[in-house]
Amino acid sequence: MRVAYLCKRQYMRKDVIADRYARLYEQPRQLALRGHTVLGLCLSYRQVPECDEYHEAAPGSLRWLGFSQNLFGFLGYPRRVERALREFAPDVLVAASDCLHVILGSWLARRLGVVFAVDLYDDFATFGLSRVPAVRTLYRRAIRGAAVVSCVSGWLARVVRDEYGAIGKVIVLPSTIERELFRPLDRDECRARLGLPVDALLVGTAGGLHADKGILPLYDAFTSLARQEPRLHLVLAGGFRADCPPPSGENVHYLGELPHDRAAELFNALDVGVVYLRDTPYGRASFPQKLYEMVACGLPVAVARVGEMGELLARAGECLYEPDDGESLARCLRAQLSGRVQAGIDLRDWGELAADMERAYLASLA
């Protein structure tokens, strides 16, 4: 099978090609590792060096073309991609990463007469691009016409079927973790490497520390609990905005934006990890990858009961708190600091997930 994969190049503050990062890299790579010929086409929304490189993925092959944005490049991008696709001659064209790539992928698949598939790691209709006139309509139309739509969660899959009216095959394809990176490590050694107190009780998180993503209940809960438990410390990693700074104090540790390969050190250093979300369309469709990363490290978690999270952790209710409710999160953290209940999630690796994707694509060609 010849598969072309169309996506943006910068994702979660990482370069998909250079950093070989997460879902947008692993899906094409895993298909190549299963013996398929894969071409990845990435557009950067800012000016970076363009590239054309092969990555090791035997027994298949994986080639990446990286395009850079400038006014001419952006306007000429669809035609450049079309030329590359005609030369490659894919059986399946997969579009991912945002509304514009899904719309462009649908247009290109029709022009080339090939099977069109979409991968959704979020509902891109909740992103800022969807506010551009006609984008949301064209995005939903593209999803309705796709032969296969893979969704990061069961919640999002229901939205795609029930609200968007997808007529193709809809499958659930969660993001997962790198098992060799996210695994249990020695807690004290991780704390020492990060400069954290060895004997404290540490709760914390990593990611975008933004009010609109649901971080404020953690700040409220920590402030409340710290009055009762002086050994409690808060550990944070990620970016924040000036209008929502982290709390200050001797028992607050802000680590900045940690490299991806050091996130496992943070999660192994903590006593409880927090996965925060708000009950919004964006939050309900989300599947925070850090939940799987924390679970793989053996870390007890406190997770907002939003969308897929409530269903995934239904049998581990001690791990859930009510969104936008600092008191509820404080109760959850207090219980987890004493009980250390594990989430009990069965983790599948990228290779296992790629097998589901492969079956869906092959069936669409039959």
Which residue type does 317 have?
A: G
For residue 71, the model assigns a pLDDT of 47
Q: Which of 123, 204, 109, 194 is nearest to 156 (CA)?
A: 123
CATH class of 187-339: alpha beta
- Strands 37-43 and 2-8, by their bridges, are parallel
pLDDT digit string (tens) for the chain, length 366 residues: 999 999 999 988 789 999 998 899 999 999 999 999 999 999 988 888 899 999 999 999 999 999 887 644 556 888 999 999 999 999 999 999 999 999 999 999 999 999 999 999 999 988 887 788 899 999 999 999 999 999 999 999 999 999 999 999 999 999 888 888 999 999 999 999 999 999 999 999 999 999 999 999 999 999 999 999 999 999 999 999 999 999 999 999 999 999 888 999 999 999 999 999 999 988 888 888 899 999 999 999 999 999 889 888 988 999 999 999 999 999 999 999 999 999 988 888 899 999 999 999 999 998
- Strands 14-15 and 10-11, by their bridges, are antiparallel
Domain extents in the chain: 2-176+349-365, 187-339
Query: Facing residues of 169 across strands?
Result: 148
- Residue 266 to residue 287: CA distance in whole angstroms: 20
- Strand ranges for 263-353 from DSSP E: 272-275, 301-304, 320-321
| C-alpha distance from residue 82 to each of 6, 38, 89 (Å) | 11, 16, 10
Cα dihedral sign for 164, 167, 171, 173?
Answer: negative
Which residue type does 14 have?
A: K
For residue 94, the model assigns a pLDDT of 98
For residue 74, the model assigns a pLDDT of 59
| C-alpha distance from residue 98 to each of 11, 56, 105, 173, 183 (Å) | 10, 27, 11, 17, 31
- Residue 76 to residue 137: CA distance in whole angstroms: 23
Q: Which residues contact 350 (CB under 8 A, 6 or more apart)?
A: 26, 27, 29, 30, 176, 178
Which residue matches tokens 């296992």? 352
Specify whether domain 2-176+349-365 bears CATH 3.40.50.2000. Answer: yes
Domains 2-176+349-365 and 187-339 share a fold: yes
